Amino acid sequence: MRVLFVCHGNICRSALAEYLLRAALPAGADVEVASRGLLDIGPRTMDPQYLDWLAARGIDASGHHAAQVSGQDVSDAGLILLFTDQQLSELCERFPTASRKTWLLTDFAALAQRCLADGDLASAATPGRRLAAIAECAPFKRPFLPHPQDIEDPHHESAQLYADVAARIDGAVSAIAEVL
């Protein structure tokens, strides 16, 4: 399964989530992880604050370059995770086929934890199959989940907001990785 994180520019939130999930996956996992942006900002590197934040955790993201999401990215993805309702709407408007596999990160993390707690993943042996099983459970579990929360864009904002956003993304990605 291919997991695609999407935010506005692909230099803060989506890039951070990509590298966190990639680092959390077991070796040889049947999951690929990528990130893209809704905007075409050129091949800029990851925001220096998040490069440093990841480096402090032993994760090298120095090779990251922003890229705009394409129809091929959407087709190739089995799961697309975004950070705000606005981004989700924009992506689905641009690529209608994305709607069946698109979630807010916080919503999917809550769903994953609920599926784990309810024993819904016992027969899913690999991380990729667990991700697919989580998505299949959604129609039955979603009404019982907390309301999804946006994770705002920290770009050019305060150091505190960068830290808060990193903590929220790390928490959500960790919740998903725990299930895998």
- Domain segments of the chain: what residues? 2-179
Q: Tell me: the pLDDT tens digits for 102-149?
A: 999 999 999 999 999 999 998 898 999 999 999 999 989 988 898 889
Of the pLDDT bands very low, low, confident and very high (cuts 50, 70, 90), residue 169 is: very high
Q: Tell me: the pLDDT tens digits for 46-71?
A: 999 999 999 999 999 999 999 999 99
> CATH topology for 2-179?
Rossmann fold (3.40.50)
Q: Which of 103, 50, 94 is nearest to 68 (CA)?
A: 94
Q: Strand 2-7 vs strand 79-82: parallel, antiparallel, or unpaired? A: parallel
Average pLDDT of the residues of the chain: 96
Token output for 92 = 């689905």
Residue 101 pLDDT exceeds 90: yes
Q: Average pLDDT for residues 8-20, to the nearest whole number? A: 97
In our burial notation (b when 16+ CB lie closer than 10 A, e otherwise), range 59-94 reads: eebeebebbebeeebbeebebbbbbbeebbebbbee
Tabulate helix, strand, coil % of the chain (nearest 5): 50, 10, 35
Question: 68: which DSSP letter?
Answer: B
